[in-house]
Structure 1
Amino acid sequence: MGRRKVEIKRIQDKNCRQVAFCKRRKGLLKKAKEISILCDVDVAVVIISNRGRLHEFSSNNSLSGMLQRYESHVEAEKEINAEIQVAEHSKYSGFTTMGELLQTTERQLEETNADGLTVTDLIHLENELQTALIQVRSRKTHLMLECAKDLHEKVPYTLFLWRLL
């Protein structure tokens, strides 16, 4: 009899769940060790069982050092994101809202014949449209980063696998 694909859902039987946990834990730790050796990277795995037992693996025998590196990396990313947001906000703070800017541009196009506009007017209009596009892209990137951050926070903290460079 061959292997069959296991449906990923909670195992109801307590004994089967415990056996699966032990086997998969060993497999995960083995894979962590292999990737650390093959790719010459630092790997840390922390598993906390439902009974509260701690199972860990660290490729460089310093889990606390790796956790400190991880925390400093996360803090550095937060600082960079904060600096980017401040820079973007100050860069575009003199402009009206994106909606107002787009409405103004649309009104200018409707009111006047585009053929009758001077080169200077067209350049000004192009710059306004480009500014609005930059603001929209910036907002989209910000929302995507927030969404990714929210998804990252929703991951259960019972299992950590970090690959630190």
Structure 2
Amino acid sequence: MSTTGSTTNTSHRTLVRWSGIVAIVAGVVMIVAGAVTWATVSSQLSAQEITVSEDSTMLPGDDVDGPFSAYAQAQIIDHHALEATGGKTYAQLEQDDPLRVTAMNASFLRASLFTSVVAYGVAALVVGLGALAVFFGSVTTVVTGRRGTGSAAGAQAGRDSHPQEPLLAA
């Protein structure tokens, strides 16, 4: 009976188990970071006390404190700016046209709101990836914990009783 193979399998199992634990910890950190980011963006938007315009086709009268209300407000700002400028964008207006300031302010407001929408998307992505890391880390940790008895004799006995089944796929 060779102990080198058992030691190698045990060290591989240990490495995979620790990788699973690291994935779980990283996943939890990602979930917390994503949730904190989401909450921070929500509180900052809410502090501005913005309400979606009543003539918006989406969420009229809603407080702007989430991704959908921020998007809705950005869309209605664009609509109002185009109405005010006769359908022209900032770049289409003459340089000395006083409506250029209106178009520019609308553009800045929309960009800020879209930045919030993107921040929400990134936060949701990070939470989702964190959940996947926790899931796969948990599966890895559970699977490596159940394989074999942890002793060289037990590992050899397991191989003898199930010769086609490897202890741990590398």
Q: Which has the larger radius of gyration?
A: 2
TM-score by length of 1: 0.46
TM-score by length of 2: 0.45
Higher relative contact order (CA 8 A, sep 6+): 2
Q: Which structure: greater strand fraction?
A: 1
